[in-house]
C-alpha cells in the first residue's frame, strides 16, 4: 500500500491573524458543550501533534475534550483555522485520519486555538513541538559545530507553567536531549508555580516519545504500537501510565516503564542514532564498492540472508526527515552540556557528518561522469521527498543536491507523486509524468525511491525515448534488466554500483 503524508495545500492559505490574541470565549464555549469530560491539550499541530490530537479525541477507554494549540504565526495559524473549519491539515494515505477527524467533528470534542488560556483548563498537556538543531556547516560539506535551539522550547514550557493547573499531567513527546525533563522542564514549571504561589510538588511530569510512522498505519503507529514511558517521580510515572492506557491498545502492545525521564529521552535518541549510524556505515562501503568495481546491492542482499544482519542498510543519496538528521546531535549535546562530560559522542556526530555529506558525494559523482559543467543543462529530479512513498520534504537530501546543481546554472525540473508544493524551496512540483516528459533533458536523476518509479515500463520507455542523456540512479531503484535496457540508448550510473 502506498504511503502518503503531506500538508494539505487546500488549507495552506493566508488568514488574518487576530489583533487581540484572546480566544477565551471560543474555548469556554467549546468546554460548555463538552461538560464533564477531562481536557487534553496538545501543544503543537505539526505532523505528530495534529494526529495525536485525533487519537486523543478518539481515545479507547475515555471521552476527552481535546484542544490543539499552536502559535498565531503565518506558518502555524492556518492549521488552527483548518481544523476548526472542517479540513484536517495533514493529508495521509491512512483512511483512519479522515475517519477519526470525521468522528471528532461529529462529537464536537476537537478544537484548535492559539490562546494559552486553554492550559488553565487542561487535565493533561501533551508537548509535541519542534526542538531543532542548527548546524554550522560549509554548504553540507563539513559539520563545523551545531546549536540545540532550546529557546522556543523553553518559552513554550514557560507558557504552560504560567497558566496550567497545579495538578496537571505534563507529558513530553517531543524528542529532546537526555536530561531535559529533569534539568530544564521541571525547574521551569516549578519556578512558574512559585511565582504563582502554587505548590510545586503536585504537578506530574512524564516523558513518552512518539514513534509515529507516516503512511497507511499512521494512526496505528500511535494507538496500536509499543510505548516507552517514565516520570520524574513515581506519581508522575503512574499518571503517565494511566493516561497512555486510555489511548493505546496496551493489552496487545504492553507499555515499557523506564527508571526515569532521562532514560526514556535517551531511548529515543539512541533508537534513531543507531539507524543513522547504520546508514552512514552503508554510505562509506558504497564508495568502496564503486572504487572496487563491486555491486554493493547484491553484496548487502547476500549478507541480509543471515538473520543477525537482516537490518544492514543499503546506500542512497543521504538521510533526511526530522529525526535522523539531528537526534544523534541532541544526545551528544546533552552529554557535554547537561552532564558536564568532556567527551562528546564522537561516533554519533561522525555519522551525522557522513550522512550530511552524501548529497555532495552524489553531486561530485554525477559531475565526474557528466563530463562537463552543468550550466544550462536540463535536469529532471524524480522525487523530492526525503524517503520513498512519503510526501515529506523536511530536511530531504534532495534539497542540497538541488542547490549544488542550481548553483552551477542547471535548469531543474521536479516530479514527485506525493508532493505538490515543495515548501522549503517554494516550488510547485509536477505530479503528472506525461507532462514532465513533454520536455527533453540532459540528465534524469532518480532521487527518491517511490513505488511509482519501480518496475515501471512506461517510465523506462519515456526515458529511452529521450535523446542521448545521462541517467543517474542515486538509490538503486532500477533493476539489472532496466539498467541494461536504458544502456542501449543512454549512459547510466548508479551509486554503489562499481560494476557498471
pLDDT in tens, 144-202: 789 999 999 999 999 999 999 999 999 999 999 999 999 999 999 999 999 999 999 99
Give yes or no: residues 364 and 260 share one domain. Answer: no
Give yes or no: residues 164 and 46 share one domain. Answer: yes
The residue out of 264, 295, 327 marking a domain boundary is 264
The residue out of 264, 297, 321 marking a domain boundary is 264
Asked whether residue 69 carries a pLDDT value surpassing 50, the answer given is yes
> pLDDT averaged over the chain?
92
- Count the domains in the chain: 2
The rounded distance, in Å, linking the Cα atoms of 387 and 255 is 29
Question: Is residue 41 situated within a structural domain?
Answer: yes
Give yes or no: residues 73 and 206 share one domain. Answer: yes
Question: Is residue 290 situated within a structural domain?
Answer: no
As to burial, measured by CB atoms within 10 angstroms (0-12 exposed, 13-18 middle, 19+ buried), residue 190 is: middle
Question: Is residue 321 situated within a structural domain?
Answer: no
Helical ranges in 320-456 per DSSP H: 327-337, 346-356, 358-370, 398-407, 433-436
Asked whether residue 5 carries a pLDDT value surpassing 50, the answer given is no
Give yes or no: residues 83 and 192 share one domain. Answer: yes
Question: Is residue 423 situated within a structural domain?
Answer: yes
Residue with cell 523506462: 460
CB distance 212 to 48 below 8 Å:
yes
pLDDT tens string 315-336: 888 888 778 889 999 999 999 9
Would you state the pLDDT for residue 52? 97
Give yes or no: residues 22 and 141 share one domain. Answer: yes
Give yes or no: residues 367 and 489 share one domain. Answer: yes
Helical ranges in 293-389 per DSSP H: 296-303, 327-337, 346-356, 358-370
Per-residue DSSP letter, 34: T
The residue out of 224, 240, 264 marking a domain boundary is 264
* 51-65, 86-100, 373-387, 440-454: segment of lowest average pLDDT: 86-100
Give yes or no: residues 372 and 260 share one domain. Answer: no
The rounded distance, in Å, linking the Cα atoms of 111 and 40 is 11
Question: Is residue 334 situated within a structural domain?
Answer: no
Asked whether residue 349 carries a pLDDT value surpassing 80, the answer given is yes
Short-list 8, 22, 3, CA closest to 50 = 8
Q: What is the mean pLDDT of residues 132-153?
A: 79
- Those residues whose C-beta lies under 8 Å from the C-beta of residue 162, and which sit 6 or more positions away, are 116, 192, 196
The rounded distance, in Å, linking the Cα atoms of 317 and 250 is 38
pLDDT tens string 23-64: 999 999 999 999 999 999 999 999 899 999 999 999 999 999
Asked whether residue 487 carries a pLDDT value surpassing 50, the answer given is yes
Question: Is residue 28 situated within a structural domain?
Answer: yes
Give yes or no: residues 26 and 134 share one domain. Answer: yes
pLDDT tens string 237-273: 999 999 999 999 999 999 999 999 999 999 999 999 9
Give yes or no: residues 367 and 260 share one domain. Answer: no
Q: Which residues of 118-156 are buried (b: 16+ CB within 10 A; e: fewer)?
A: bbebbbbbbbbbbbebebeeeebeebeebebebeebeeb
Give yes or no: residues 78 and 211 share one domain. Answer: yes
Q: Is the pTM of this model over 0.85?
A: yes
For 216, the domain range is 5-264
Q: Which set of grid coordinates corresponds to residue 262?
A: 532521562
∠ CA 332-152-336, nearest 5°, is 20
Question: Is residue 55 situated within a structural domain?
Answer: yes
Q: Which set of grid coordinates corresponds to residue 243?
A: 493516561
Residue 10 neighbours by CB distance under 10 Å: 11
CATH number of the domain within which 12 lies: 3.40.50.720
Q: Which set of grid coordinates corresponds to residue 259?
A: 527508571
Question: Is residue 67 situated within a structural domain?
Answer: yes
Would you state the pLDDT for residue 3? 33
Amino acid at each position: 500500500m502506498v504511503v502518503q503524508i503531506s500538508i494539505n495545500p487546500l488549507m495552506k492559505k493566508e488568514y488574518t491573524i487576530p489583533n487581540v490574541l484572546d480566544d477565551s470565549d471560543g474555548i469556554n464555549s467549546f468546554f460548555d458543550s463538552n461538560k464533564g469530560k477531562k481536557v487534553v491539550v496538545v501543544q503543537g499541530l505539526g505532523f505528530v501533534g495534529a494526529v495525536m490530537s485525533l487519537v486523543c479525541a478518539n481515545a479507547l477507554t475515555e471521552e476527552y475534550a481535546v484542544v490543539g494549540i499552536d502559535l498565531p504565526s503565518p506558518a502555524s495559524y492556518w492549521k488552527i483555522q483548518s481544523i476548526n473549519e472542517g479540513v484536517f491539515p495533514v493529508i495521509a494515505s491512512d483512511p483512519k485520519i479522515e475517519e477519526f477527524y470525521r468522528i471528532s467533528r461529529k462529537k464536537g470534542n476537537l478544537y484548535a486555538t492559539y490562546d494559552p488560556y486553554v492550559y488553565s483548563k487542561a487535565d493533561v498537556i501533551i508537548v509535541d513541538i519542534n526542538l531543532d538543531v542548527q548546524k554550522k556547516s560549509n554548504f553540507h560539506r563539513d559539520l563545523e559545530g551545531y546549536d540545540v535551539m532550546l529557546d522556543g522550547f523553553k518559552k513554550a514550557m514557560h507558557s504552560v507553567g504560567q497558566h496550567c493547573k497545579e495538578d496537571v499531567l505534563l507529558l513530553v513527546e517531543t524528542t529532546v536531549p537526555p536530561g531535559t525533563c529533569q534539568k530544564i522542564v521541571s525547574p521551569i514549571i516549578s519556578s512558574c508555580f512559585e511565582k504563582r504561589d502554587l505548590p510545586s510538588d503536585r504537578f506530574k511530569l512524564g516523558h513518552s516519545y512518539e514513534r509515529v510512522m507516516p503512511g497507511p498505519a499512521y494512526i496505528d503507529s500511535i494507538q496500536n504500537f509499543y510505548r516507552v514511558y517514565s516520570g520524574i517521580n513515581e506519581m508522575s510515572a503512574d499518571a503517565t501510565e494511566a493516561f497512555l492506557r486510555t489511548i493505546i491498545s496496551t493489552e496487545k502492545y504492553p507499555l515499557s516503564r523506564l527508571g526515569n525521564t532521562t532514560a526514556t529521552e535517551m531511548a529515543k535518541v539512541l533508537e534513531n542514532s543507531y539507524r543513522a549510524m547504520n546508514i552512514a556505515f552503508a554510505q562509506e562501503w558504497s564508495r568502496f564498492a564503486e572504487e572496487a568495481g563491486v555491486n554493493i546491492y547484491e553484496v548487502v542482499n547476500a549478507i541480509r540472508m543471515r538473520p543477525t544482519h537482516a537490518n544492514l542498510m543499503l546506500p542512497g543519496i543521504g538521510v533526511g526527515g526530522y529525526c535522523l538528521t539531528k537526534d544523534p546531535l541532541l544526545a551528544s549535546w546533552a552529554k557535554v552540556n547537561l552532564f558536564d562530560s568532556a567527551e562528546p559522542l564522537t561516533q554519533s556526530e561522525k555519522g551525522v557528518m557522513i550522512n550530511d555529506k552524501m548529497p555532495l558525494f552524489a553531486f561530485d559523482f554525477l559531475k565526474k561522469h557528466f563530463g562537463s559543467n552543468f550550466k544550462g543543462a536540463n535536469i529532471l529530479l524524480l522525487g523530492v521527498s526525503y524517503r520513498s512513498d512519503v510526501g515529506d520534504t523536511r530536511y530531504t537530501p534532495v534539497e542540497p543536491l538541488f542547490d549544488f546543481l542550481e548553483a552551477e546554472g542547471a535548469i531543474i525540473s521536479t516530479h514527485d507523486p506525493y508532493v505538490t508544493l515543495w515548501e522549503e524551496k517554494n516550488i510547485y512540483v509536477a505530479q503528472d509524468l506525461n507532462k514532465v516528459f513533454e520536455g527533453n533533458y540532459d540528465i534524469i536523476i532518480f532521487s527518491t525511491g517511490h513505488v511509482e518509479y519501480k518496475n515501471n515500463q512506461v517510465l523506462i520507455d519515456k526515458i529511452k525515448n529521450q535523446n542521448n542523456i545521462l541517467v543517474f540512479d542515486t538509490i538503486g531503484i532500477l533493476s539489472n534488466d532496466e539498467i541494461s535496457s536504458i544502456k542501449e540508448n543512454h549512459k547510466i550510473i548508479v551509486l554503489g554500483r562499481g560494476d557498471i
